[in-house]
Structure 1
């Protein structure tokens, strides 16, 4: 060094410094390039994997929303839950995206519920399914969905057609908790790894070539162009590399939404950095265009979703993009809206308005121009409900009026039955008096047998007594005529009761199901009326026999008057006649006893009629209350033609009132006849006592 000149030393120092600095710069630049390349490559790899994860997540969320829609329908119709599950499985099975994208569904066991391209796996146990690295794939999926988010990414390797070794694959899964379904889809990421490896290899080769070139240039011209090389190196290498790095970092910030604009790289130089900058700028512009189109499409989707939330299903996504996945999503979303509009209605608010009206029991509201099946069906349901409520109100009013008519008729029947019972009691009293009269007659005839010896000395008295006997027989005949008239009244009452039971049966048939019990009661009333008519006929026959006997006694008495002229010579014949009279009196007593029994049976039947009338009145009251409840329930709702409901009219019978008037008249006549009988009996008793 001492033998060297200062210039040489300076030159040597400069050259050494340049060499050292050049070597250091070269080394540092290469290290910086490698670090930058590794950093960019790693960030690019992470971004690519993250983008793939987000892409898979968006696809799975589409399937999740589809299942969620079917679940909401199942919540509205719980009895059809199984059908909605099957429909959801079929819908997910039919969805495809990209070239070969598909879905599968398994549960937490794990068992395969549905595999879109391998149906043979459906229903199989997947707990032991693992990849070549020993990763239990479906168990990892269960773990990924067990955290609070119920979703996650699963990484594993899986055989890929066309490759000898298993390739890396991503699967994104989301758990649908209500049905214990894990919905997933997957995609191979070997193309990303291959691209990154190729990028790393290409970058390392370019960096190595640049390093060799720089070394050669530095060693050739390091002395002559040391300062120039330093300036050129600074301007042509370090500055462009720094700009390249800053540009890439700015691009990644744009991708990460950290800034809204992109600063393009300086591609004015013709070296490798300039070429790389041009390529990167082209990709940056293309990526920016895609991101902007995607953003516009997403904003349009948000707009349509907001319209759908507001209840309008006739909106469509009009924006488009070059992103195939988002374009397919746009088509699927528009088709889904068309199907919903066709099946439901274009405006959900109109449906809600009608349903709220139904909730408030107002069934007059309709959808004016129904476009969906649900809207049309809802209008048909509205018509059916209006008709049903209208019929209920009309039937309730009619039933109420019929029940009121029936109750009035039953009350009149009860009054008639009571009057009939009173008439029978009076008839029984009259019969008892007649029985007493006949008994007295029998006793007197017995006395006549004892006084036969005195008849010869008492011819005149005997003639008067015979006249009295004839008068008594005429009284008996009059009494039997009264009994016959009473029997006729009873027979008419039985006939009118039969007619009333027929009217009650008609009213019961008009009442329908509610009148079945009353129809049975009406039949029993009819049977009792028939029995009363039969008993009245029997009594009439007995009375006719008694009349014949009374006439016979009258004839005998007449013969007694004629025979008194020769009574002294025909005492024996008189005794014989007295015996005949005694026999006839006994037969009359027997007949009257039979009449008493028949009257007792009629009285019992009348009491039963009154009891049945009381039960029928209770049934009529229950029917009336039932009709009132139906009308009140129908009036709680508002429906079409409600105020135009008319009651079905029916003809009302006035037979009972006529029967009541006839019964009252006959009762008055009967009372008069009973008084006559009592008076006659009194006179007869006095005559017998005188005799």
Structure 2
């Protein structure tokens, strides 16, 4: 680019003209290309909208077919079958219209899905899911169209159409879901969740559509939304959502008809959107075509005019610039101390260059005189600024200038440094005090503090006040915490001791329960042995009873036998007596017979002896028989008694056996209960041991907390704060709220001041009811602290702040005097301090009520 510096002004002007012409030419080409690009985009959009219309018709028919398909699948082919066949014909017609923009696989997949539906070999989700996916892919093509164009109106109309299409699609899904649900009178799996999701999608897209739609489309949409069918659909969807368990009592055919009519209403809105989109696209294409022709001609004309005037004006300007260059070079050489005199500019033309030359010549002399003084002023300023930049604010400008402006500037600069130094000193004093832990000092805004300086001091003051209140709260809570920690420490020690004693007692109880368990177990074993012995005794008693019964029978037989023997002995005695009589008779006869009868007499004598012996034997037998009968009768009675006793013993043994069994069962139950008690005591012992451990840990923790609270109190003894702050600390949230409101008001003032750097016309500031403090005041106007005189003062000062800032803005933008601005600023700061004091009084009055 060095060759440009070597060109003359004349050539540079020609070069500038040439560059300007090229720039205009490139700008024109760029505009033409931009218009052409926009026109091509619109043509592309027109093609896409044509495709979208075909898609929209196909989508509409596919939505109806999906709803009927759901009814067929849910009813297992008993409902909607004829309607579905008719609808498929309508869908096929739209497929023919859109065959050039659809893939070949689309028709194949549609036919496969239809065949599966006809054979009822497909689930509801799969059968309707095919249509949902197909519709979604078609809708995606429409949704992407707005991103292809830069025309906001057309893009907005297409977006509105896409959202009404998405709403219609979700309503179509809802039609299919509820058609199946009403036929079955219950939701299919996952259908309730899908219903809720689609309802949300419908509401969301309808809301967006109402934002983007044209007035005509919006009017038609609202009109359709108030139709009987649309209201029925909304109520029915709400009914279905309220009954996830089913039992709708809704006729599926009525539902399908009503919702189809509603969807047809959406379709009418779609058609209107397409009509409006086509109209806007065609108008935009026509406008772009006209704009392209107009822009091309205009830029050709501008280039020609530019070249002509550039050549003429360039020569004239070049000559005058040359003359002015010579004069200015002389002046700058003087300023640069290259020459001691200044040559005037020799340009006598009556145009701006001539006037400029005369004015420059008139002021060169004045500037020459002021130059040296300004150089001195600049040197002084640089030196003081260097000191101030390093933080040394005590240096000042001491030179006495002849130039009044330089004097005013120097005094203003020194005054600014004085104010900065004073403000920084106040801030440093407060920060040092706070760093030393002293928050009890109060800062006072002097009459000279205003603007950002006052904001800085007020902010520091608000921080000091807030910290003082915070430390007051911390001190108060620390003292309470220390007291409570001490009490908690004592309670913790007592709890630990009690827990340990309880653990020891439970250990002893567990040992006693264990011993009792052992004794009960032994008792159970003994009772089981007693049960066995009782069973054996019962068996023996029953055996003895049987033996006694047999003995009784034998004794009866013995008694009967002895009685028979007695009878037999009586017969024998009678026979012996008769035999003895016969032997006497035989002896008498033998004696009568003499010697012949001697042998017979001997026999008779022997027979008589035998008879006597038989009589004696019979007598003895009879005596023995009598004795045996008596003994037998005694034995019989004894045997009867023994049998009765055996029966009684058996009965008692049975009772004993039942008692022993009861005792055994009771002992077993007692054993189970004792085992449960033992387990419970074991668990209780474990918990008690854990409690004892926890109690010990609590005691240690409390001891640590007590130590830390003592350390905190020790630390707080080094902090100084305003003791009156304790009166404000009953509501900690209010402390932070009021501090935030104070700082918000400082930000409110500073933000409005900052806007004065860029704004040129007055603006309306936030009203005193609309700022954060105003909203807080309105929200708390019924509180007890709002019934005080201090509250009314706060309201007045707050209103003064807002009114003052508004006046400050008007006066500043009206170029009011410094005195006026300074007075307003001081009034604002005084009102701000009044607001701060009012908020502090609110805290005090609030705590008085508590």
- TM-score normalised over the length of structure 1: 0.32
- TM-score normalised over the length of structure 2: 0.27
Give the structure with the larger helix fraction. Answer: 2
Q: Is the radius of gyration larger for structure 1 or structure 2?
A: 2
